[in-house]
Structures are given as C-alpha cells and as structure tokens.
Amino acid sequence: MVDKNFLISEMKRFKEENGRLPQAKDMCAFDGYPNYKKYIKEFGSWNNAVDAVFNNEEDLAIKREIERDFLIAELRRFQETNNRLPFQKDMCAFDGYPSVYRYYKEFGSWNNAIKEILMPERDFLIMELRRFQEENGRLPFQKDMCAFDGYPSFHRYYKEFGSWNNAIKEISLKPQIDVSFFSPENLNLNKLYIIGYIIGDGSVSCDNQLFIITTENDKENLYDLYNYMNLDTKICIEEKKDYKTRYVIHKQCPQWAADLKEYGIVPNKSLISYIPLDYLRTSEEEAAICRGIFDSDGCITCRKDRKNFPPIFYVCGSKKLCEDYAYLLKKNCDIDCNISKNSENLSQIQIQGKKCQNIYDFLYGHENFYIKRKKDRFEKLLNGTFTLEDDNY
C-alpha cells in the first residue's frame, strides 16, 4: 500500500527540484519517484492527480500555459506531417491528437486556435508583443505575458529567443517621430519632466544623439517616457558583468539636439547644467522640471556620515543647477536652501524636517510622470517610517 500523502509530497518535491510540474513519464522509480501507475490507481488518472496536488492560482496558471503550448504544438505537428492546416475533424484522440473540445475550451473557437499557427512562431510572438504595446501604451513586461489575458506565455519567448530581453529587442517600433517634440512652442508638463530628467541623467552627443539611461529598478518609468516620445528606435538593454543592467533610450535627431541646446542640454553638460527658468511660466511647469531632476539626480536618503541623522531630501548637480533648484524651492515652498559641495566639481542640496512636506506637495501636486520607488521613499520620510534598511537602490 502506498500512502496518498506520500504520493502528493513526491509530486511537490519534483516541482521544487525541477522548477516545473511533473509529467507522467517523470514519475519513475529509477529516478527515485513513485511510478506514475500508482498515481493512476490512487487518483483515477494522471490528470486527476495533477489537479488534486497543484490547485493554487500559480499552479493553475502554469497548467494553463502547459495545456496551451501543448495544443499549439499538436496543431503544428499536424501541419508538418500533412503539409496543410488541420480541420476540426482532424483533431481526434483516435488519431493521436487532442480533441476539438480542448481547443474550444482553451481558445474560445477553432479559428482562434488556428490563428496561432498561421505564421512562424517567432513572427507570431513578436506580433503579440506589438499588440500588447498598442493596447496598453507601453512595452510589455514578462509578467504581462499570460494565457489568462490572451497572450502567449513568457515560456514561449524564452524558448524562442533565449531570454525576455532578447525578445523585447526584436520589437519593430513605429517609423515616425515628432521632430518638433522639444520645441519651445510645444512644451507641456510631460515634456518639461522629460527635459528635467535629461538635465539630471541624460546627454546629447556631438553627433546629435540623445541618450536617457536608467537601471532595472526604474525601467517602468523609462518605458513610459519612451512610449510618450513615440520613438522609432528600440530601447537598448545593456548587460555587463559586475554592473547593473542598464536600459537606454537613444535617438539621433539634429532638431531635437538643437532644441535641447536651448535648455542648456549640450555635450559634456555635467558641470554647466542649469534649469531653463525663462521657459517656465507656471508653478506646475516649475514642479514638472524639478521632479524630473529629482527622479534622475536626487533621492531620499540618510546621511551615513552622521550617526542617527534623520533622512533628507537630496539633489546633486552643478553649482548653477543647485542654485536654480534652490530658487524654485524658495519661490514655491518658502524654503531657504543651503548649497554645499558634493565633490570638487559638483554641489548638493540637503533638506530635512517638516520643510520636506512642502517640497512633496510642490513636486507631486499635479499629474505627470514619476518614479514610484522615489515617491514611496518620500512618503516614508514624511510619515516617519524611513529607515536605514530602506536606504538602498
């Protein structure tokens, strides 16, 4: 007699050791597991055993992906064997194929199932990435690819491209950009945020290429900027040994470079950057560009050089940039800022205490882009829950 609980525990052990759900052929005494026939005897069938053991939300999603991938593979197998697309009547268990009922259950209709194999797997997967982009206004993340939402499982992308990042690199993007995007007469709050972000952590090269760079932690914000800018180049994903993965927007556009020059964004700008005050007409516009600078070159942090020192609002940059930022904080938040040296060539602003509430209200008082991680840290500072454990990137 075999204990039912033991059979269940062995199936779970297989999943933990192999990172996937077991198939009947995996259950073999030679590999240290109970024979699959014992599961059939105890549960009535192999599928009954799998359904009984793996029934939480995560496992159900995995089983759904396995079923979907299997059904598609069987359609492709028929197509390769018979040199034509299958009809409903071809799907019959007597001929070794899944029943039509399983296709209706998974895809909703036979035509929906057939659509999955009307093009090469690679082209279909790229098409689905583009479809997500068009429907959601942003590039997809790995977690977005789920059969429950009508998209191919991310496992198929790994199988076809080797990694999720490789798949994202394959997306062919829109062919046109707005060359007047950064022109002074077209400015709005979103564009001023982007200009602030570029002032802090972007650059323009001598050959008129714009670069905006971020890391894994803040890639969602970069995707939002990329989609809003309607770029026709791919986001570059740079993976270097011993370095954090970097996500880079890059676009060569002489008109963009010429317009950004109006705001002080020029090659090698780090030591001469400033806030283009002449182009800011309202408090909301001033807040938008300040938020962009904070998201790229500022943070909420603890001063580790002083024991038990409370967290602070912090911005770093050229001396002129810090002076302009201090001017806008004085104008909008009634805060007098002390500007100190950060290094030989850079300056910094550090503010603590109740004054930070005024800065938060100023920066986040209107709808615009923002990095969620930094906003959350700011809120922890204000409610007194920010600790040294939070002070990491």
Rounded to 10°, the helix 189-201/283-297 angle is 30
| Residue % of the chain over a pLDDT of 90 | 27
Residue in the structure block whose two tokens are 């270097």 = 240
Work out the mean pLDDT of the chain and round it to a whole number: 83
* Opening angle at CA 64, ends 63 and 65, nearest 5: 90
Q: What is the mean pLDDT of residues 18-27?
A: 76
For residue 393, is pLDDT > 50? no
Range 24-42 burial, b when 16+ CB lie within 10 A, else e: beebeeeeebbebebbbeb
Confidence tier at 327 by pLDDT (50, 70, 90): very high
CA distance 45 to 218: 47
Q: What percentage of the chain reaches a pLDDT higher than 70?
A: 88
CA atoms within 13 A on the CB side of 263: 26
Distance of CA 97 to the CA centre of its chain: 38
- Identify which of 60-69, 97-106, 173-182, 281-290 has the greatest average pLDDT: 281-290
Q: Are 363 and 287 in contact (CB under 8 A)?
A: yes
Residue 93, sorted as left (phi over 0), alpha (psi -120 to 50) or beta, turns out to be alpha
Query: Tokens in use for 176?
Result: 């046109």
Query: For residue 149, what pLDDT is reported?
Result: 63
Rounded Cα distance between 349 and 236, Å, is: 32
Q: How do residues 33-57 score in pLDDT, each as one tens digit?
A: 888 888 888 888 877 887 787 777 6
Predicted confidence band at 319 (pLDDT cuts at 50, 70, 90)? very high
In whole angstroms, what is the distance from residue 386 CA to residue 250 CA?
A: 35
pLDDT attached to residue 60: 61
Residue 174's pLDDT band (boundaries 50, 70, 90)?
A: very low
Residue 175 has pLDDT above 50, yes or no: no
pLDDT tens for each residue of 66-105: 777 778 888 888 877 887 778 888 887 656 788 888 888 8
Sheet holding 246-252, edge to edge: 202-204, 209-215, 246-252, 236-238
Average pLDDT over residues 188-193: 96
User: What pLDDT score does 308 carry?
Assistant: 62
Rounded Cα gap, residues 25 and 339, in angstroms: 69
Lowest mean pLDDT among 237-241, 333-337, 382-386: 237-241
What's the pLDDT score for residue 277? 95
Residues composing the chain: 393
HEC letters along the chain: CCCHHHHHHHHHHHHHHHCCCCCHHHCCHHHCCCCHHHHHHHHCCHHHHHHHHCCCHHHHHHHHHHHHHHHHHHHHHHHHHHCCCCCHHHCCHHHCCCCHHHHHHHHCCHHHHHHCCCCCHHHHHHHHHHHHHHHHCCCCCHHHCCHHHCCCCHHHHHHHHCCHHHHHHCCCCCCCCCCCCCCHHHCCHHHHHHHHHHHHHEEECCCCEEEEEEEHHHHHHHHHHHHHHCCCCCCEEECCCCCCCEEEEEEECHHHHHHHHCCCCCCCCCCCCCCCHHHCCCHHHHHHHHHHHHHHHEEEECCCCCCCCCCEEEEEECHHHHHHHHHHHHHHHCCCCCEEECCCCCEEEEECCCHHHHHHHHHCCCCCCCCHHHHHHHHHHHHCCCCHHHCCC
Residue 47's pLDDT is 76
Residue 303 confidence (pLDDT): 62
* pLDDT at 288 > cutoff 90: yes
At residue 331, the pLDDT reads 95
Over 60: is that where the pLDDT of 304 sits? no
Q: Does the pLDDT at position 1 exceed 60? A: no
pLDDT, tens digit (0-9, with 9 covering 90-100), for 245-271 = 888 888 888 899 999 999 999 998 888
Q: Is the pLDDT at 137 greater than 50, yes or no?
A: yes
Give the number of other Cβ atoms within 10 Å of residue 121's Cβ.
Answer: 16
Q: What is the distance in angstroms between the CA of the first residue and the CA of the last residue of the chain?
A: 55
Contacts of 314 (CB under 8 A, 6+ apart): 298, 299, 300, 301, 348, 349, 350, 351
235, 139 Cβ separation under 8 angstroms: yes
Query: What confidence tier does 225 reach under pLDDT thresholds 50, 70, 90?
Result: very high
Residue 326, pLDDT > 50, answer yes
